[in-house]
Structure 1
Amino acid sequence: MVYAKDEQGYDTIFLPDRNLVSRMARVARDGHAELQDRSSRIALALMAYSQAMELDFEPSVAFHELGAKSGNTVANEELAWFRAADNAAAHDWIAVASGRMRQVDLGPASSAETYDFAFPLGRWRRNYVVALKVAQLELEGSGTPLERAIALFDWLYEDFIFAGPAAAFATMYFGPKAAKRGLFKRLRAPEAREEAVAGIRNAAWDMTHLSDFVLRVSRAENERRRYIFASADVSLVRIARTLLLQAVAGDGWPSFAQALAEWWPEAEARAIADAMFERVQRLQASDRPLPNPSNPDIDARIAGGEAWIRKWRP
């Protein structure tokens, strides 16, 4: 990273998910690190590393997620504490992350400009439509996991938009060999169907973090930047690793099908990769526009999908 910055002129930027951002902000707010869970240890180590290496964070999606769930006041307050956390205190963060120090004073919360984080992101709205469809296919339980994955691809191609990160998320979720716990929380809760809807919304935010990562990486070369997606969610990190893979292995990277073999039998992994790339190539050869996130059709799809989830019973 030093070579990339000093010799090649690249900036390296972390894209952290909300769980990491919230834990970093909490240390600045509370003045201590009484957080012993795995996610907190990762958050402390990541902030220490970032400050020692003079690397940057871009946490905007994390704060949009918090704003959508808890409102602007909470999101902007946490942003103020995150700014205090990310403010040239490398020695303190290293001492806290290594356990040599329990108390830390990172200064007051920042009083910089506030933002409208509760405004719904268009990408999240599109991903939420996809997440509702994935949940419906899973709960219907018809066909094999491979047939459900192909059915999703067909629906994305023919009826909506082929959202690659969301499709990759679903590919892991449907995978018979995948450790997918937590990707859709409380999906089959027999009575608490609002909890199932909340879990699907959370999955749509995970998809949005992934899509933001891909979008930024696609622009990174022109910006002289390198992006690193950061999460303590192992499943999310494994999905992120597949997003930039190609149909054929090369330059030390596996093919997309080879990566899917972690979640699928080899023959099914190849079938999924072939189906995905075939639809992407057909879309690239067409001039179909993206659906407008403010279009009433998006609202109708969301309302219909939520109604179906709420009515479902085991």
Structure 2
Amino acid sequence: MIVEQMLITDDILLNASDLDGEQQYRLVNYQLHDFEKIACLLDRNIVTDLVKLIRGAHIPDGAAGQSLRVVAGLQAFLNAADILSDPGLAYNEFMDSAGLSTADTELALFRSADNLDANIYLDIALGLRSSVPPGAVPHFESGELQSKTIPPKLKPFERNIVTIKKALAIKASEVTDYQVMLQLTDWLFEKYMFTPPAFFFLCLYLSNGRISRMLKSHELKDVRNAAWDLCFLQHWYDLIKRDQNIQWLAATRDRAIREVARIMFIKNSESEAEYFERLSNVFKLFWGVKNRNGMELLERIKSFQSRIDHPQRSIVCADSHYIEQLSKEVDDEYSAICTRS
């Protein structure tokens, strides 16, 4: 019960079918279910914290050690509920910055963390231990990533980063943030494709509801970091759709990602009309109740959805060359604003 409440307070665990609920935090709910398997997709920061723990990091008392204690509590909970921990694209992201060899070594450490005695995690979460005993760590050989064929580009990453860069290029033309969203929506319809994680991330970022440091700067490093965060959401969505016999949860301590998920996903209990009504209320909060700003954007989204295969859209019959050329054009626009700033 203590660990369950810790996780609820942190808002770390997401269930796509009920993103505002707390049923995913109740161990008893995992004793009777109709799924072949339940798994939890972990974001990069949680994977990093698990590796820190397995390396013997000392957990200080109080707020300074809270992040590691919460992650330990999460892993204890997942073990108790027989839920598979999945690092997903965390190591694709790590390879992007640290290289294949370092990422491969860290993945072996994650496997050790995933197989650590759950009671050790529980003790850490409850403040009964301040570190993982070195002798308790199971050993896993590196080489897992070295033996795999890693694609040079991930489509979700490319789509997210192109969408973010285009929005920043439009913003540099000194139109209002709301006009950025309108122009971006028109461009996505005419030239590109609708990528929900990036689109709703930008809705949040360019609104009254912006969360501090959700995009730390417009520099490439921070733009790439945001694009990887959004890949986490896209990957979670794809996993849910891929196999209805597996229930996929997601774990993240990133508030912006949690809020984007709550905007992006249709709840199991919602019809499409009810989802758009909820989105309407969100947009009113984002851009004000007194004007129709949010409503105009919502109408464009609905129109986009209803005409997704319209021949007016350049992307409908496009080949890979078109995508590469368009990505280059957006890169050039983005580079130009970076040069000016």
The answer to whether the superposition gives a TM-score over 0.5 is yes
Higher relative contact order (CA 8 A, sep 6+): 2
* Structure 2 CA distance for partners of 1:5 and 1:275, relative to 1, 3 Å: farther
Aligned to 1:136, which of 166, 169, 188? Answer: 169
The amino acid across from 1:184 in the alignment is: L
Which of 52-61 and 151-160 deviates more? 52-61
Residue equivalent to 1:201: 224
Residue equivalent to 2:259: 238
Residue equivalent to 1:310: 338
Aligned to 1:277, which of 297, 302, 327? Answer: 302
Q: Is the 8 A contact 2:42 2:88 kept in 1?
A: no
Residue equivalent to 2:47: 21
* Structure 2 CA distance for partners of 1:96 and 1:242, relative to 1, 3 Å: same
- The secondary structure found in structure 2 opposite 1:99 is coil
Aligned to 1:104, which of 132, 143, 151? Answer: 132
1:83 paired to 2:135: no
* Structure 2 CA distance for partners of 1:99 and 1:185, relative to 1, 3 Å: same
| Cα distance per residue 1:41-97 (max 9 Å; x no partner) | 432222121112121122121111111111011211111111111115211101111
Task: Please list, as runs of the form range in 1=range in 2, the aligned pairs for 1:142-157 lying within 5 A after superposition.
Answer: 142=175, 144-157=176-189
TM-score normalised by L of structure 1: 0.84
1:214 paired to 2:242: no
* Structure 2 CA distance for partners of 1:41 and 1:308, relative to 1, 3 Å: farther
Displacement after TM superposition at 1:174 (Å) = 1.1
| Cα distance per residue 1:164-220 (max 9 Å; x no partner) | 221111111111x21322222222xxxxxxxx1111111111221121122222234
**Percent of matched pairs sharing the same residue:** 21
The amino acid across from 2:75 in the alignment is: M
* Structure 2 CA distance for partners of 1:294 and 1:80, relative to 1, 3 Å: farther
Residue equivalent to 1:184: 215
Using the alignment, how far apart are the partners of 1:108 and 1:298 within structure 2? 48
Displacement after TM superposition at 1:36 (Å) = 2.6
Using the alignment, how far apart are the partners of 2:233 and 2:317 within structure 1? 21
* RMSD of aligned alpha carbons: 2.8
| Cα distance per residue 1:259-281 (max 9 Å; x no partner) | 33443324433332222122022
Structure 2: give runs of 5+ residues left out of the alignment: 1-23
Task: Please list, as runs of the form range in 1=range in 2, the aligned pairs for 1:48-63 lying within 5 A after superposition.
Answer: 48-63=76-91
- The secondary structure found in structure 2 opposite 1:110 is coil
Using the alignment, how far apart are the partners of 1:283 and 1:293 within structure 2? 21
* Structure 2 CA distance for partners of 1:240 and 1:37, relative to 1, 3 Å: farther
Residue equivalent to 2:19: none
* Structure 2 CA distance for partners of 1:160 and 1:213, relative to 1, 3 Å: same
Q: Is the 8 A contact 2:53 2:68 kept in 1?
A: no
Q: Is the 8 A contact 2:56 2:131 kept in 1?
A: no
Displacement after TM superposition at 1:237 (Å) = 0.4
TM-score normalised by L of structure 2: 0.78
The amino acid across from 2:221 in the alignment is: A
Using the alignment, how far apart are the partners of 2:73 and 2:282 within structure 1? 28
Q: Is the 8 A contact 2:69 2:124 kept in 1?
A: no
